[in-house]
Amino acid sequence: MDYIIGLIVFIFVLGVIILVHEGGHFFFARRANILCREFAFGMGPILWKKKKGETLYSIRAFPIGGFCAIAGEELENDPFKNRETIKLKIENGIITGFYLDVDDVKVDYPIYKIISYDIFDVEKTGLLYMEVIDGDLIVKYPVDAKAMIYEKKIEFQIAPYNRTINAKPKRARAMVMFGGPLMNFLLALVVFFIAGLIQGYANYDSSVVDDLTEETPAYIAGLRDGDEIIKLESSTIIQEVKVWDDISQFMDDYQTLGELELIKITYLREGQENTTVLTPAVYVYNGGFVGDYTITDKVVVLLVSSVENNLANNVELLAGDQIIEIEGQAVTSWGDVYHVFENYIGDGEEENWITLKVIREGTEKEISIKPFSKTLLEKQTTTSGEPIPAVKVAMGISPTYKFSFLKSFGYSGKRTLASFTAIIDTFDLLFSGDVGIQNLSGPVGIFSLTKDVAAQGIAPIFNLIGLLSVNIGLLNLLPIPALDGGRLVFLGYEAITKKKPNQKVETILITVTMLLLFGLMIVVTFGDILRLLGIRG
Q: Are residues 121 and 237 in the same domain?
A: no
Q: Could you give the percent of the chain with pLDDT greater than 90?
A: 54
Nearest to 281 by CA among 218, 368, 332, 200: 218
* Least reliable range by pLDDT among 285-294, 347-356, 527-536: 527-536
Same domain for 514 and 459: yes
**Per-residue pLDDT for 179 more than 60?**
yes
**Three-state SS at 240:** strand
Q: Are residues 418 and 504 in the same domain?
A: yes
d(CA 60, CA 42): 5
Q: 336 and 292 in one domain?
A: yes
Task: Check if the beta carbon of residue 17 is closer than 8 Å to that of residue 190.
Answer: no
Burial of 304 from C-beta contacts in 10 A (0-12 / 13-18 / 19+): middle
pTM value is 0.82
List all residues 6 or more positions away from 146 whose beta carbon is below 8 Å from its beta carbon. 54, 96, 157, 158
Measured CA to CA, the distance from residue 443 to residue 423 in angstroms comes to 17
pLDDT of residue 537: 46
Average pLDDT, the chain: 88
Question: Residues 148, 96: contact at Cβ < 8 Å?
Answer: yes
Q: Are 413 and 374 members of one domain?
A: no
**Distance (Å, rounded) from C-alpha 209 to C-alpha 146?**
66
- The residue range of the domain holding 121 is 85-163
Note whether residue 182 is domain-resident: no
Letter string b/e over residues 83-102, b meaning 16 or more CB atoms within 10 A of that residue's CB? eeebbbbbeeeebebbbbee
Q: How does 478-487 read in b/e, with b if 16+ C-beta sit within 10 Å?
A: eebbbbbbbb
| DSSP, residue by residue, 275-301 | EEEE--EEEETTTTEEE-TT-SSS-BE
Q: Is residue 355 part of a domain?
A: yes
What pLDDT digit, counting tens, does each position of 247-284 carry?
999 998 888 776 678 899 999 999 999 999 998 888 99
Question: In which band, very low, low, confident or very high, does the pLDDT at 350 lie, cut at 50, 70 and 90?
Answer: low
Q: Mean pLDDT throughout 328-337?
A: 88
Classify each residue of 387-425 as buried b or exposed e, where b means 16 or more C-beta atoms within 10 Å of its C-beta. Answer: ebebbbbbbbbbbbeeeeeeebeebbeebbebbeebbeb
Residue 135 lies in a domain: yes
Number of structural domains the chain divides into: 4
Are 409 and 526 in the same domain? yes
Give me the CATH number covering residue 329.
Answer: 2.30.42
Mean of pLDDT values over 11-30: 93
Give 3-state DSSP helix, strand, coil % of the chain, rounded to 5.
Answer: 40, 30, 35
Determine, yes or no, domain membership for 208.
yes
Residue 34 lies in a domain: no
DSSP state of 166: G
pLDDT tens per residue, range 440-490: 666 777 777 788 888 888 999 999 999 999 999 999 999 999 899 999 999
242 and 287 inside one domain: no
Q: What is the pLDDT of residues 77-123, one digit of tens each?
A: 889 988 999 999 999 999 999 999 998 888 899 999 999 999 999 78
**Residues above pLDDT 70, as percent of the chain:** 94
At residue 528, the pLDDT reads 66
The pLDDT score that the predictor gives to residue 479 is 92
**pLDDT tens, residue by residue, 384-407:** 677 888 998 999 999 999 989 999
Q: Is residue 75 part of a domain?
A: no
Among 21-35, 104-118, 404-418, 502-516, the least confident range: 502-516
CA distance 291 to 121: 74
Please indicate, yes or no, whether residues 289 and 237 belong to a single structural domain of this protein.
no
Asked if the model's pLDDT at residue 515 lies above 50, the reply is yes
Report yes or no: 469 and 188 within 8 Å, Cβ to Cβ.
Answer: yes
User: Are 305 and 221 in a shared domain?
Assistant: no
Residue 433 maps to a domain: yes
Mean pLDDT of 226-251: 94
Same domain, 440 and 513: yes
Closest listed residue to residue 419, CA positions, set 462, 470, 476: 470
